[in-house]
Amino acid sequence: MSNILIIKHGSLGDIAQASGAIQDIYENNKDHKLYVMTSKPYLDLYKKNPLITDVILDKRLSRFNLIYLYLLMRKIKKLKFIKVFDLQNSSRTSFYKKVLFPNSNYNSWSSSETTLPSNTTKEEFDKLSVLERFDHQLKISGLNTKHTLKPNFGWSCSDISEINSKFKLGKYIILFPFCSPHLHLKKWPYYNELIKLIKGELKNEYKVVIAPGPNELQEAQNFNAECILDNGKSLKIPQLSSLIKNSSFVVANDTGPAHMSAHLGVKGIALFGSHTTAYKVSIEREKFKAIQVTDLKKLSARKVFEKIIL
């Protein structure tokens, strides 16, 4: 039995998107052990994946940190990987290829670079959606793909019965009004107006909740919704997955939780401005849709409320 390495550093939404590709890599290589190299925020999460033999931590320190780079490369070489699937496709992982497999092609190092169609530029190829690019990469690498275009993030869920009991969660709508400070173009500004519509017109049949991340606890106080925490702390990713999975509906900005929701198979909508398109990030699924506008400030709460299908 030989070893295969999958590289996926993040982010959270990208981890959810890659679930189908990882499942296809596993199903095409059941006689091999799968390892994932990831960054610290997703180390414990990947340890939950039953398809993964073990997880390698990449601290992603500077490439000029020669001691760290030497130790990481030594660890990788010791496992004698027969093939690497680079699902991160970043400049860092391209650098790793040059160090580990300097003369390799898609037979030993599968990436968007090594599987790029001969008649297509990288810029043209990147116009495809995320999942279409994964699908192409794996097919060129000789894999049959059944799940890549239909990721299932269900493996990430954990038991949250105590949280359900504490907050008396029956039927609830979960909102994700947050986003990184430097990505303000992704932020829809009318969540409180939406909360008012939900509570008023649905006669409090559904509880409205939010689940802030560690850096969003202060901002969470600005919303008239119940804040779901675990002993005063933000939910861990598996807890958040279960909270989303059990919800009646999700409304979110284009952030990690929106992509989790899409690939957990729940009903919901993601709100997109001009920063990108729903197609490009492969977020629309059978039950999860998107509202695309040129300016999120011009998207009314009423318009969003009318898209909530319970």
Geometric angle at alpha carbon 158, from 157 and 164, rounded to 5°: 110
Q: In the CATH scheme, what is the code of domain 3-152?
A: 3.40.50.2000
Query: If the chain, 310 residues long, is cut into consecutive pieces of 10 residues, what is the mean pLDDT of each piece?
Result: 96 96 98 97 97 97 93 94 96 93 89 92 92 97 98 98 96 95 86 97 93 96 97 97 98 97 98 94 97 96 94
Cβ–Cβ under 8 Å, residues 86 and 110: yes
37 vs 31: CA distance, rounded Å: 20
Q: Which H or E run includes 161?
A: helix 161-167
Helix, strand, coil shares of the chain, percent, nearest 5, are 35, 15, 45
209 vs 169: CA distance, rounded Å: 9
253 vs 176: CA distance, rounded Å: 6
Q: Look at residue 100 in the predicted model and tell me its pLDDT.
A: 87
Closest to 141 measured CA to CA, from 170, 171, 173, 108: 108
Q: CATH 3.30.450.40: does it fit domain 157-305?
A: no
The pairing of beta strand 288-292 with beta strand 268-272: parallel
165 vs 184: CA distance, rounded Å: 35
Q: Where in the chain is the domain with CATH 3.40.50.2000?
A: 3-152, 157-305
Q: Is 211 helix (H, G, I), strand (E, B) or coil?
A: coil
Q: Look at residue 183 in the predicted model and tell me its pLDDT.
A: 74
CB neighbour class for 203 (10 Å; exposed up to 12, middle 13-18, buried from 19):
exposed
Please write down the HEC assignment for all residues of 10-57: CCHHHHHHCHHHHHHHHHCCCCCEEEEEECHHHHHHHHCCCCCCEEEE
202 vs 8: CA distance, rounded Å: 41
Q: Look at residue 180 in the predicted model and tell me its pLDDT.
A: 80
CB neighbour class for 83 (10 Å; exposed up to 12, middle 13-18, buried from 19):
buried
Q: Look at residue 87 in the predicted model and tell me its pLDDT.
A: 98
Long-range contacts of 264-270, Cβ-Cβ distance < 8 Å, separation of 24 or more: 264/16, 264/153, 264/154, 264/157, 265/152, 265/154, 267/309, 267/310, 269/304, 269/307, 269/308
Q: Look at residue 11 in the predicted model and tell me its pLDDT.
A: 93
Name the residue with tokens 């890549």.
148
Distances (CA, A) of 149 to 131, 161, 162, 198, 258: 6, 31, 34, 33, 17
Closest to 163 measured CA to CA, from 231, 95, 93: 231
